[in-house]
Amino acid sequence: MAGPATYFDPARKDELDPATRALVARRERALGTAYRLFYDEPLQPVRGLGTKVWDADGTEYLDAYNNVPSVGHAHPRVVAAIAEQAATLNTHTRYLQEGILDYAEQVLETLPASIETMMFACTGSEANDLALRIAKHVTGGTGVVVTTNAYHGVTTEIAAISPSLGGMESLAPWVRMVDTANLAGVGAAFDELQAAGVKPAAFIVDTILASDGVIPSINNLVDAVAATRDRGALFIADEVQPGFGRLGHGMWGFDRYGLSPDLVTVGKPMANGHPVAAVMARRELTEAFGRSVRYFNTFGGNTVSIAAAQATLDVLRDEGLIENARVIGERLLGQLNGIDSPLIAEVRGAGLFIGVTLERDGRPATAETLAVVNELRRRRVLLAASGVGNNILKIRPPLPFDAGDSDRLVTELQRALALHA
């Protein structure tokens, strides 16, 4: 299976410097071959702060890619919260804890009033797995509709609804795909499932369509949700990528469409890298699920995870990072639109989630995108590619990205594009 263009090709190990080659060889030996590394020359970061990371040689890089350390690498308030709680107690949800209630209540306040409960897991994959399990339980159906290049996670169940993973893990027979350019086909997809004897359960969508190429304005999303509900299925908003303010407009990607999902899933940026995730849902859904299923996730919502998530939420608010995402994101969009390069076909985004599509003669410029990403790595700016054709630069930095960071990214991108135009 061909991975996205920006992965290191193990066949080219001999081109690496001896120290990197030795690490890559140890890695293949101990971790096996299902793992991938970024870049032609894999990077070994050893330190991070804010929007920067440093490699083992002390070289500094601008991080325009990592959305997990959302409030900035090694944010001191998040670090302090983790250290303090780990030194005090780390335990689970079968004991009473006040922190988890304080946190859940604050997050639920940011959601539509119809979403009243929050359940904790450790990863976005687990959150989507649980959300779908609830949806199937409540509807009694199994049919799921996803977008063409959707990625929702790596559990067996969720890999089976993630066409972007491809290979044998491809779609389960109870899944149908709809074109991201126009979701008007969702109703028909459910009808097709029903004609095949599969009762509808859920339509799940990442509201920035990250793996589909970063699409800030999704056509027909509201109609697609209505068509979903007409057929008795539930709408799951996968906010693992757009959630927690990255789009610079409120906390959630679906807010921009005036939608009220049935279930909302979150993960990656929730605790700035500490493994925690969650499903928020309408009360009647979790009640119906809870009547016949007890749920316990040993680490999910443990006291240290909650301390990390609370500190991350506090920083997001106190440092005005959603507003920063909006202001710097708009500025960066303008700068990117101003770049004069024959490769750039489109620049689009919301907040600090931006896609830049590269084309040559109207066709995806996959090789050039690969070259630009690797050139930027040499120029000490970290980015990656996205989309079905791997021809979309994915810009998704930590949210404290500032005007200077933005200028530096644009300058280096201009040079990299010029070299490969």
Considering only residues 156 through 185, tell me which ones interact with its own copies, judged by CB under 8 A: 156-157, 159, 165, 167-169
Q: Give the one residue of 9, 79, 320, 334 binding its own copies; rule: CB under 8 A.
A: 79
- And the tokens for 194? 């029903």
Q: What is the DSSP string of 133-172?
A: HHHHHHHS--EEEEETT----SSHHHHTT-GGG-STT---
Q: Which residue has the tokens 């770049």?
A: 339
Strand order across the 381-382 sheet: 45-49, 52-55, 60-63, 381-382
Rule CB under 8 A: is residue 43 a binding residue for its own copies? yes
CA pair distance 51, 62, nearest whole angstrom:
6
Rule CB under 8 A: is residue 195 a binding residue for its own copies? no
In the bound state with its own copies, the residue whose beta carbon lies nearer, of 168 and 195, is 168
Q: Give the one residue of 62, 64, 71, 82 binding its own copies; rule: CB under 8 A.
A: 82
Rule CB under 8 A: is residue 388 a binding residue for its own copies? no
What is the nearest approach in angstroms of its own copies to the Cβ of residue 43?
5
Closest CA to 209 of 172, 178, 250: 178
Rule CB under 8 A: is residue 90 a binding residue for its own copies? yes
Q: Taking CB under 8 A as the rule, which mask of x and - marks residues 2-31 in contact with its own copies?
A: -x---x------------x--xx-xx-xxx
What is the nearest approach in angstroms of its own copies to the Cβ of residue 287?
6
Backbone angles phi, psi at 229, to 5 degrees: -70, -35
CA pair distance 177, 2, nearest whole angstrom:
21
Helix (H) or strand (E) run with residue 363 in it: strand 363-364
Rule CB under 8 A: is residue 291 a binding residue for its own copies? yes
> Within 108-167, which residues bind its own copies (CB under 8 A)?
108, 116-126, 129-130, 132-133, 136-137, 154-157, 159, 165, 167
Q: Give the one residue of 9, 12, 15, 46 binding its own copies; rule: CB under 8 A.
A: 46
Rule CB under 8 A: is residue 37 a binding residue for its own copies? yes
Pairing of strands 115-121, 277-282: antiparallel
> Within 58-77, which residues bind its own copies (CB under 8 A)?
66, 68-69, 73-74, 76
- And the tokens for 129? 């797995």
Rule CB under 8 A: is residue 42 a binding residue for its own copies? yes
> Within 293-322, which residues bind its own copies (CB under 8 A)?
293-300, 302, 304-305
Number of residues that bind its own copies (CB under 8 A): 106
In the bound state with its own copies, the residue whose beta carbon lies nearer, of 117 and 194, is 117
Rule CB under 8 A: is residue 400 a binding residue for its own copies? no
Backbone angles phi, psi at 21, to 5 degrees: -60, -40
In the bound state with its own copies, the residue whose beta carbon lies nearer, of 156 and 258, is 156
Rule CB under 8 A: is residue 203 a binding residue for its own copies? no
Q: Give the one residue of 34, 57, 58, 113 binding its own copies; rule: CB under 8 A.
A: 34
Closest CA to 321 of 253, 258, 383, 251: 251
Q: Give the one residue of 40, 48, 198, 381 binding its own copies; rule: CB under 8 A.
A: 48
- Taking a C-beta distance cutoff of 8 angstroms, is the pair 321, 328 a contact? no
What is the nearest approach in angstroms of its own copies to the Cβ of residue 221?
25
- Taking a C-beta distance cutoff of 8 angstroms, is the pair 253, 266 a contact? no
Helix (H) or strand (E) run with residue 81 in it: helix 76-88
